[in-house]
Amino acid sequence: MSEKVILTGDRPTGRLHIGHYVGSLRRRVELQNSGEYKNIFVMIADAQALTDNAHEPEKVRQNIVEVALDYLACGIDPEKTNILIQSQIPELTELTFYYMNLVTVARVQRNPTVKAEIQLRNFEVGIPVGFFTYPISQASDITAFKATTVPVGEDQEPMIEQTREIVRKFNSVYGETLVEPEIMLPEDESCLRLPGTDGGAKMSKSLGNCIYLASDSDEIKKKVMSMFTDPGHLKVEDPGKVEGNTVFQYLDAFSNDDFFAEYCPDYRNLDEMKDHYRRGGLGDVKVKKFLNNVLQETLKPIRERRHEFEKDIPYIYEVLKKGTEVSREVAASTLHEVKDAMKINYFDDRALIEEQAERYGNNPVGAANA
């Protein structure tokens, strides 16, 4: 088996939505089932969530189980994937403290994702130090498990780049110890970022423009039927725009030819449907009904599995505990190597003690208590 290791994760600040599904969850399940990875770690990044939710610990705490339920509902299998809770692995924090010495303040300030988040969170008035250092903590998450492969969305690219820099710096200063990870972006353009149902750039709970993995079928239908399309496409006969049209962006991410055969046999595939829409003569309602069918069929089994798992919450915590324990051993072993490399392993370092004892003219070490 290969030596490839995956690590990825999510902040538990809310239920996961279908943007997470096409952007990462669907792929994680495929990767998990591919058998190509020696080890897979999926992290619930509660400590990172607290860097910008310090005053809402209850929100973070409640959402851990929600995210875990969403994972299991999508097909993440605890027999094959370790699901872990970040805060319960103190080795990660310890690594962060050492990596901080290898990164400048200016370098973190240049990180485009950090910059955007500072604006979004109104942190311009005062940036919490913990928040500021989260890219370094994310480097610990990745390197602690010697991850070779980090499947994430494009917004995480600066974090992976930062991690790679830390790895190179660490290895050059202290000797070859850490593994430089590669980012794995979604294969499909359309899955890079699914817009909100209102056409807004991002799905966000506060804007009410999300479809959740746990959404029921009425809610899905309501969101689809009120979805943003092409504002210039007023009458059915009008030519319509497909680019920037949310309904088509969702179809790009979710539909396939089998769905056309089943629900919309007028077209063989999405290209034919798009052509008709561009020419004029295809109404929004028909396209939305098709999208609704596609989403209903895709999300129903996920929602049903979620309901099954919801019946046994203690089991979910067992899964998390087990995944965290297994993961902690791996992180502890990496931390041990890191401390060896950094020469902060004083009590294990017999040679150090002997050399200093000799310098001070002690009796041969061990002789004193003979």
Point out which residues bind ligand TRP (CB under 6 A). 7-11, 43, 45, 48, 138, 141-142, 150, 152, 156
CB of 10 to ligand TRP, least distance (A): 5
Closer to ligand TRP at the Cβ: 14 or 196?
Answer: 14
Closer to ligand TRP at the Cβ: 91 or 141?
Answer: 141
Distance of alpha carbon 231 from alpha carbon 362, whole angstroms: 86
Closer to ligand TRP at the Cβ: 155 or 340?
Answer: 155
Q: Please identify which residue in the block is written with the tokens 């950094």.
A: 342
Residue nearest to ligand TRP as judged by C-beta position: 45
- Biggest CA–CA distance in the chain, Å, is 99
Closer to ligand TRP at the Cβ: 23 or 240?
Answer: 23
CB of 11 to ligand TRP, least distance (A): 5
CB of 368 to ligand TRP, least distance (A): 48
Q: Is 114 in contact with 135 (CB distance < 8 Å)? A: yes
CB of 42 to ligand TRP, least distance (A): 9
CB of 162 to ligand TRP, least distance (A): 11
Closer to ligand TRP at the Cβ: 70 or 141?
Answer: 141
Closer to ligand TRP at the Cβ: 9 or 78?
Answer: 9
CB of 106 to ligand TRP, least distance (A): 21
